[in-house]
């Protein structure tokens, strides 16, 4: 049998007591409320430990079962609803399902019937929750660079698009950094690809530690990264990147002993006009300039 938490909503005191004992006997954890308003209060209070199923009467004072269903579907979409009704005419059933019920139970309630309905819904819910979790995981994988754990190219570009929108919409500054690890190929050539991987992982996590929660670093290409700095002017961005550039020299790498790592970076502040590609093209050419001007430096 599935375990589960149930909220019973019924205005009749005797019905409520009867249903409560019936559902408890089924082994479920049961709470109860006398109408829709009280039920919503309960859900608000138990926001972190919501019931799996709400079983609700239709005819109740203050807020009826249909209104309650609509509210639950809006506020707590993962909760499943069973409507209790003595009218099983077409209109009542259609209205119940339209307002978000997953199932209905006709009155008078037969114990075994209600328990089977609950058990079935809990099984559906568990499958839905598992699917939802799997989808969330897949989405995360699709957006993450497997080596460094930061957003991949696809995801960082999406984030940049959002950042540009916010910057335009609220007239807030936005800075973008593109940096590239200097002589990365020679790290791979001298110490092997595992050393190259270690360098990428360490540099990435080091820079991440030096950013604010709202800044985003993502892997743009092989050894190229983008950093989005929302609500940061060019001066702020230069300060952050300079600090990273100064301290990154002191990092040591187990698989590349004695090797000092530096990077080159292009930094630009959004001008409120450019399209995403144009903005990237600017930092791209600044990065190129930094490389040409001797590496281990910033160009703006």
What is the distance between the alpha carbons of residues 263 and 247, in angstroms, rounded to a whole number?
11
How near is the Cβ of 61 to Mg ion at its closest, in Å?
A: 8
Instruction: Name the residue among 109, 69, 110 with its Cα closest to residue 93.
Output: 69
Stretch that binds Mg ion, among 4-12, 19-27, 77-85, 271-279 (CB under 5 A): 4-12
Taking the mean position of all CA atoms in its chain, how far away is CA 29? 29
How near is the Cβ of 11 to Mg ion at its closest, in Å?
A: 4
Other residues' Cβ atoms within 10 Å of the Cβ of residue 176 = 26
Among 6, 7, 9, 11, binds Mg ion (CB under 5 A): 11
Angle at the Cα of 176 (from 175 to 177), degrees rounded to 5?
A: 130
Catalytic machinery residues: 223
How near is the Cβ of 39 to Mg ion at its closest, in Å?
A: 13
How near is the Cβ of 43 to Mg ion at its closest, in Å?
A: 19
Instruction: Name the residue among 257, 251, 180 with its Cα closest to residue 222.
Output: 180
The yes or no reply on residue 178 touching Mg ion (CB under 5 A) is no
Contact mark string toward Mg ion, 31..60, x via CB under 5 A: --------------------------x-xx
What lies within 8 Å, CB to CB, of 126 at 6+ separation is 2
Length reported for the chain: 300
Q: Which is nearer to Mg ion, 57 or 215 (CB)?
A: 57
* Run of H or E residues at 217: strand 216-219
CB 66 within 8 A of CB 99: yes
Q: Which is nearer to Mg ion, 11 or 223 (CB)?
A: 11
Q: Which is nearer to Mg ion, 55 or 217 (CB)?
A: 55
Residues in 55-94 that interact with Mg ion by CB under 5 A: 57, 59-60
Q: Which is nearer to Mg ion, 68 or 256 (CB)?
A: 68
Q: In the complex, which residues of this chain contact Mg ion (CB under 5 A)? A: 11, 57, 59-60
């Amino acid at each position: 049998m599935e375990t589960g938490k149930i909220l019973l909503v019924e205005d009749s005191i005797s019905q409520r007591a009867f249903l409560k004992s019936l559902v408890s006997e089924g082994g479920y954890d049961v709470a109860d409320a006398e109408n829709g308003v009280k039920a919503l209060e309960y859900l608000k209070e138990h926001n972190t430990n919501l019931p799996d199923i709400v079983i609700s009467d239709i005819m109740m004072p203050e807020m009826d079962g249909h209104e309650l269903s609509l509210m639950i579907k809006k506020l707590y979409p993962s909760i499943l609803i069973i409507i209790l009704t003595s009218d099983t005419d077409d209109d009542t059933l259609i209205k119940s399902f339209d307002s978000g019920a997953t199932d209905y139970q006709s009155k008078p309630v037969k114990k075994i019937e209600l328990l089977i309905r609950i058990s079935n819904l809990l099984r559906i819910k568990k499958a839905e929750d598992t699917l939802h979790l799997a989808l969330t995981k897949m989405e995360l994988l699709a957006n993450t660079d497997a080596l460094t754990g930061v957003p991949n190219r696809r995801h960082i570009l999406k984030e940049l698009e959002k950042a540009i929108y916010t910057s335009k919409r609220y007239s807030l500054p936005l800075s973008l950094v593109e940096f590239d690890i200097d002589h990365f190929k020679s790290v791979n050539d001298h110490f092997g690809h595992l050393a190259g991987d270690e360098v990428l992982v360490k540099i990435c996590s080091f820079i991440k530690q030096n950013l604010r929660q709202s800044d985003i670093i993502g892997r743009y290409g092989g050894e190229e990264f983008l950093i989005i700095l929302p609500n940061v002017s060019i001066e702020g961005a230069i300060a952050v990147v300079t600090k990273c550039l100064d301290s990154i020299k002191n990092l040591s790498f187990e698989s590349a002993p004695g090797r000092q790592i530096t990077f080159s970076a292009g930094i630009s502040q959004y001008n409120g006009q450019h399209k995403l590609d144009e903005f990237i093209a600017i930092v791209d050419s600044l990065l190129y300039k930094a490389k040409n001007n001797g590496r281990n430096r910033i160009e703006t």
